[in-house]
Structures are given as structure tokens and as C-alpha cells.
């Protein structure tokens, strides 16, 4: 078992997946604890993430006074002359909340096995600031371009970039491969962090989608947040041939990003001739492995195996 997973099981008792009540604190105890303590018990990964710090951060995009960063977890002994594969992970939060720290455990796990692990900061949907989900997608695409443009100095292989994400972050990960043409001149004005939009491809070499926002119609998630152009950012409506090999993990009891959307995406990917592996967690709620460290360990192992089959591990 790799070091991060070993730390998980050492620091946090793993509840039984068959007895979900074991990971709940009692009603009596709940009355004595603050709300943040309750959240930490329900989401042990959050508590673990709070104790982690990246090796360093890099600005990949500047927009006026706003500087967007990559949070790097570098493997031991990493140097600029390396050609390591990259695991870039994008946090969820409905495009409106959370920070890169939320997914530090993902990035740290893959750094521990020799990849460059990165957690992405992106612009959140905020009507007061005038930022939209389109801006979130553009930032994810800019990040991939930045990595490819600076592969030599970062010590990475530009042909082995894995983009992963959970929930809304899974949607943005999919967007790096699916939503071509959304930048236009806006992206040139904003700055991509390296190169013109068409000069450096942002399509990753592998996709890993954890319980993603995959259908933005009224039957899925996000239509009201995106607005009338929701179809432009709906992965099930943008499937095409020649997409990267994709791993999709989803729970059948997900009521936030409904399982039916994941099923439809899987079928459409196959029909278009794309490679996709669909791993179904029966009765799993939205973000099912965030609440159970044993399930998180399984999800990371499943991801490792998929990456290994496609030559993406060191």
C-alpha cells in the first residue's frame, strides 16, 4: 500500500462500507461538537487535506489583479530534467465553492507514486464578479496548455498528462477534451499561460471522471447555473470521436449528478468509438468515496490501474 493510503488508515479509523452508521457520531456527541467537527467526521478527506501543503504553487494565468495558481505536489527527487507524467485534478463544489485544498489528497497520492500531482485553482461562478461556468472551463483548458508549454522546465512529459476531477471538477476535466471552440478571442485577451489557443493543444492524454456533472440539461445538473447556452457545456451533448481514453466512476444512488447521465455518456462514448471504462458503485451517493476512506483507497487503486494500462505511471 502506498504511503498516502497507509497514512489514511493510520490516522483515521476506516468505517465498514457495509455498516455506514459506524462512521456517524452519536446524537449525544453531536450536541457537544461544533458544526465543523461534524463535517470533519463525515468527510475524513477534508481533515486530511487540512494537514497537507503543496511543494509550491505556480501562477498559470493572470486576469487583471487575479492570479490563478497550480498547487504542485512534487515527487521526491523531482527536477527539471525529468519527464514525469502529470496528474492534474480539479475540485468540485458546484462551480461556486471549495478550493484546491479540497483535492490535495488526490494530488498527493499520485505524487507519492512518482507523478507530478497538481490541484487546480480556477475562477468560480460568481454573478457579482461577472464570472461564469464558461470561465471555469476556460481556466481548466488554460492550465493544460500552460503545462505543455513549460514541460521542459517543469520536468514533465507533455504526452502523458492525465486530467481528473470530481463533480463540477469532473465536468471541467471533461471540458478540456470536449469543449473545443469556446475560447475564441476572449482566451487570447485573458492569456492562456502560454501560446495561442490553437497552437498548444489542451486535450489531455487521459481523462478520469469521478461522479462528474456529465449532463447539464434539466434532467441532470447545472442548467440554471450555466444559462441558455447549457448545451454547449453538456458533456453528453458534446461527445465526438477521438477523445482520450476515459475512466468514469459513479454511484447508482447519486441524486446530485444523476446516474442516468453517466450511463448515457458511457453509451455515447462507445458509439463514437472512444475507449471508456465505467466503474459503477452500487448504492453510492454523490461523492461516495469522499465519506469512506476504504472506498477512497479503492478509487485510487482503480485509477492507478487504469493509468498503468495506458502507460501513464512512472
Average pLDDT (178-207) is: 70
Asked if residue 18 lies in contact with residue 10, where contact means CB atoms within 8 angstroms, the answer is no
pLDDT at 163 over 60: yes
pLDDT in tens, 49-68: 999 999 999 999 999 999 99
Name the 3-class secondary structure at 213.
coil
Q: What does the alpha-carbon distance between residue 147 and residue 121 come to, in Å, rounded to a whole number?
A: 14
pLDDT of the residue at 181? 86
pTM for the complete prediction? 0.87
pLDDT over 80 at 286, yes or no: yes
Radius of gyration of the chain (CA): 19
Cell of 193: 499561460
Encode pLDDT of 228-280 as tens digits: 999 999 999 999 999 999 999 999 999 999 999 999 999 999 999 999 999 99
Which tens digit of pLDDT belongs to each residue from 26-38? 333 332 233 334 3
Report the pLDDT value the prediction gives residue 2, as an integer from 0 to 100. 53
Fold observed for domain 3-309 = Rossmann fold (3.40.50)
The residue extents of the domains of the chain are: 3-309
d(CA 212, CA 262): 8
The Cα 22–Cα 38 span in angstroms is 14
Residue partners of 27: CB distance under 8 A and separation at least 6 = none
Q: 79-132 pLDDT, tens per residue?
A: 999 999 999 999 999 999 999 999 999 999 999 999 999 999 999 999 999 999
What separation in angstroms does the CA of 97 have from each of 29, 122, 148, 187, 210?
Answer: 28, 11, 28, 23, 17
Residue partners of 137: CB distance under 8 A and separation at least 6: 172, 175, 179, 182, 233
Q: Residue 171's pLDDT is what?
A: 98
Amino acid at each position: 500500500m502506498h504511503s498516502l493510503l497507509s497514512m489514511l488508515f493510520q490516522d483515521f479509523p476506516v468505517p465498514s462500507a457495509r455498516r455506514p452508521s459506524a462512521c456517524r457520531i452519536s446524537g449525544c456527541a453531536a450536541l457537544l461538537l461544533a458544526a465543523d467537527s461534524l463535517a470533519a467526521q463525515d468527510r475524513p478527506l477534508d481533515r486530511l487535506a487540512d494537514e497537507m501543503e503543496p511543494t509550491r504553487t505556480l501562477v498559470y494565468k493572470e486576469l487583471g489583479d487575479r492570479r490563478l495558481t497550480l498547487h504542485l505536489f512534487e515527487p521526491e527527487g523531482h527536477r527539471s530534467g525529468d519527464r514525469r507524467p502529470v496528474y492534474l485534478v480539479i475540485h468540485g463544489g458546484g462551480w461556486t465553492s471549495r478550493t484546491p485544498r479540497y483535492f490535495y489528497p488526490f494530488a498527493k497520492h499520485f505524487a507519492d507514486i512518482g507523478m507530478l500531482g497538481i490541484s487546480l485553482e480556477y475562477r468560480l461562478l460568481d454573478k457579482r464578479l461577472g464570472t461564469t461556468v464558461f470561465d471555469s472551463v476556460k481556466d481548466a483548458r488554460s492550465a493544460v496548455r500552460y503545462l505543455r508549454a513549460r514541460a521542459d522546465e517543469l520536468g514533465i512529459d507533455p504526452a502523458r498528462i492525465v486530467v481528473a476531477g470530481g463533480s463540477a471538477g469532473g465536468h471541467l476535466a471533461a471540458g478540456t477534451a470536449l469543449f473545443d471552440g469556446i475560447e475564441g478571442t476572449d482566451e487570447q485577451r485573458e492569456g492562456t499561460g502560454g501560446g495561442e489557443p490553437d497552437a498548444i493543444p489542451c486535450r489531455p492524454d487521459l481523462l478520469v471522471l469521478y461522479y462528474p456533472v456529465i449532463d447539464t440539461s434539466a434532467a441532470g445538473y447545472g442548467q440554471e447555473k450555466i444559462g441558455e447556452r447549457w448545451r454547449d457545456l453538456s458533456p453528453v451533448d458534446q461527445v465526438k470521436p477521438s477523445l482520450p481514453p476515459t475512466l468514469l466512476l459513479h454511484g447508482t444512488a447519486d441524486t446530485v449528478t444523476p446516474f442516468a447521465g453517466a450511463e448515457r455518456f458511457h453509451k455515447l462514448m462507445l458509439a463514437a468509438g472512444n475507449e471508456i471504462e465505467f466503474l459503477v458503485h452500487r448504492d453510492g451517493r454523490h461523492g461516495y468515496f469522499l465519506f469512506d476512506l476504504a472506498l477512497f483507497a479503492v478509487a485510487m487503486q482503480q485509477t492507478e490501474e487504469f493509468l498503468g494500462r495506458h502507460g501513464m505511471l512512472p
